[in-house]
Amino acid sequence: MKNIAVVLAGGTGRRMGTDVPKQFLPLSGRTVVEHSVDLFCAHPAIDGVGVVVHRDHLGLMRSLVGHHGGGKLLGVVEGGAERCHSSLAAIEAFGGGDCNLLLHDAARPLLDAATISRVADALRLHEAVAVATPSVDTILVVEDGRITGVPPRASMWCAQTPQAFRAALLREAYRLAMADPSFAATDDCGVVMRYMPHVPIHIVQGSPRNFKITNPGDLRRAELETDNNQ
C-alpha cells in the first residue's frame, strides 16, 4: 500500500505578526514549508507528496516546491478556510485508490526521518496512527478562570503530526462529519474518533524537535536547531 504524505500549508499565521504566512518564512536557506516537503520527498517509505495551500498562495507555493521531490511531488492544490477543509482537499486530490495518507502541518519543519519511519511501520498494522510525546508538564483543566481538574500526567500526551490513516477510513469519517449539522472543526484524529469510534488510533513516539512554529520565538528556536544539526 502506497504512503502519500500531504503537507497542509493553508494557514495564515496571524500570530507571527509577519506580512506573509509562517510557512513561507525563511529558515536556514529555505522556506519553512520546503523543509517539510523535502524531508518527505527524500524518505524511502514515502511514495508521493502533495501540498495543500490557501488559494491566494497557490502560485507562490508552486514556484517554491515545483522543482522539489525528484518525481515524488504529486501537486499543489487549494485548501479551505479551516483545517478540516484542507484535509478534505487532500483526500480528494491525493487519497484515491488503496493508499495511506500522512497529513502533516507545514509549520512543523523539523520532523525527523525516524518519526516518519515509525509511522510507516505502524501503518502496516494499524488503520490510524498519531504522533505524540509524553507531556512533561502537569495539565490543568480550567473553566471560568479556575482549575476544575488535574488529569494524571502519565496519561497525558502532546499531539504532533503527521497523523496517518488508511485513505478509505479517513474519507468515510469525513463523509459522516460533513453530513452532521453539529460538526465542529477539529483535527483529523478528532474526526476519526468521533465518527469512526470503533477504529483505535495507534500512538507512535514523536520528537521534541517536531514542534510547531507559532510565534517569532519558535522560528528562532527552529533556526538554532537546524543550524546545530547541519
Residues 6 or more apart from 103 whose CB is under 8 A from it? 6, 8, 87, 90, 161, 162, 163, 164, 165, 188
Q: Tell whether 150 is covered by a domain.
A: no
Alpha helices by DSSP H, the chain: 32-42, 58-65, 83-94, 113-122, 167-178, 188-195, 216-228
Residue at 154 is within a domain: no
3-state secondary structure (DSSP) of residue 208: coil
C-alpha cell at 178: 460533513
Domain residues for the domain of 178 are 2-132+159-228
- pLDDT string in tens for the chain (230-residue length): 999 999 999 876 666 667 788 999 999 999 999 999 999 999 999 999 999 999 999 999 999 998 877 789 999 999 987 889 999 999 999 998 899 999 999 999 999 999 999 999 999 999 999 999 999 999 999 999 999 999 999 999 999 999 999 999 999 999 999 999 999 888 999 999 999 999 999 999 999 999 999 888 999 999 998 876 65
Report yes or no on 151 lying in a domain.
no
The stretches of 146-195 forming alpha helices (DSSP H) are 167-178, 188-195
Residue 158 bridge partners (DSSP): 133
- Does 146 reside within a domain? no
Residue 105 domain-assigned (yes or no):
yes
Does 37 map to a domain? Answer: yes
Instruction: Evaluate the CA torsion angle 178, 83, 111, 133 in order and state its sign.
Output: negative
Q: Which residue has the cell 510557512?
A: 23
Q: Is residue 152 part of a domain?
A: no
28 within domain boundaries: yes
Spatial distance between the Cα atoms of 114 and 152, rounded to a whole number of angstroms: 29
CATH number at residue 28: 3.90.550.10
Query: Number of folded domains in the chain?
Result: 1
CA nearest neighbour of 8 among 38, 63, 49: 49
